[in-house]
Amino acid sequence: MSLWRDIKGTIQPFWVTLRYLFCRPVTICYPEQKQTPAPRYRGRLILTRDPDGEERCVACYLCSAACPVDCISMQATEREDGRRYAAWFRINFSRCIFCGLCTEACPTLAIQMTADYELATRELLQVVYEKDELLIDGCGKNAQYNFYRLAGIGVAAPRGANPGESPPEDIKSNLP
Ligand code: SF4
Ligand code: SF4
């Protein structure tokens, strides 16, 4: 029984090798050849702008609080008109595990994941990205979303009269 098991154990790996000998190789010659990641691949993080070209990030610290490895840091400040933004914003990609929790937590869709996976470097400090390296000129995903038009400005109209808002329930109408 043990002899048969040994023979089987010797033949099986050869059989696996033989089977794959005539298959098309899956190896690609990176970096000359690039691989296209899956559409929902979670790669390098970016900060985006709203359709007006303004920074979406309002420095609310939610992404930093949600991050399980504590690799996002920033300093909040305000413009003269009261709009908040991050004076500096830093992501340490050497600690990031690309879980996407920061993007889930962000109420303004400012922080987004891209398909860029080319972050490797021999210099550890080069993977600490500052705001100017993170902030892009475009809107990224959900290009039409503008947090400030919906929630960032003072309420001028009565409840239910703002764009996309339903009128409030008449609580008297629910009485028996
Ligand atoms: S992807 Fe995950 S680990 Fe990376 S910064 Fe966001 S929350 Fe932190
Ligand atoms: S990226 Fe989003 S969650 Fe993080 S501080 Fe800016 S607005 Fe808040």
Can you give the pLDDT at residue 172?
81
pLDDT at residue 152 is higher than 60: no
Among residues 26, 62, 45, the alpha carbon closest in space to that of 117 is found at 45
- Give the residue, by CA position, lying nearest to ligand 1 atom 4: 96
DSSP letter string over 28-84?
Answer: --TTTS-PPPPTT----EEE-B-TTS-B------HHHHH-TT--EEEEEEE-TTS-E
Between 161 and 92, whose confidence is greater? 92
Helix H or strand E segment including 16: helix 2-21
Q: Checking phi first, is residue 43 left (phi over 0); if not, alpha (psi -120 to 50) or beta? A: beta
- pLDDT digit string (tens) for 20-65? 888 888 888 998 999 889 988 999 999 999 999 999 999 999 999 9
CA 48 – ligand 2 centroid, Å: 10
Among residues 52, 71, 169, 151, the alpha carbon closest in space to that of 111 is found at 71
User: Which atom of ligand 2 is the closest one to the Cα of 47?
Assistant: 1
- Pocket of ligand 2, beta carbon within 6 A: 57-63, 105-106, 108, 110-111
Between 69 and 160, whose confidence is greater? 69
Pick from 72, 89, 92, 134 the residue to mutate for probing ligand 1's pocket: most ligand atoms within 8 Å of its CB: 72
CATH architecture under which domain 37-148 falls: 2-Layer Sandwich (3.30)
Q: Residue 175 has which token pair? A: 């009485």
> Which of the four pLDDT bands, split at 50, 70 and 90, describes residue 150?
confident
Burial environment of residue 166 by CB neighbours within 10 A (0 to 12, 13 to 18, 19 or more): exposed
- pLDDT digit string (tens) for 157-172? 777 777 777 888 888 8
DSSP tag of 138: S
Q: Residue 99 has which token pair? A: 């879980």
User: Does residue 44 contact residue 38 with C-beta atoms inside 8 Å?
Assistant: no
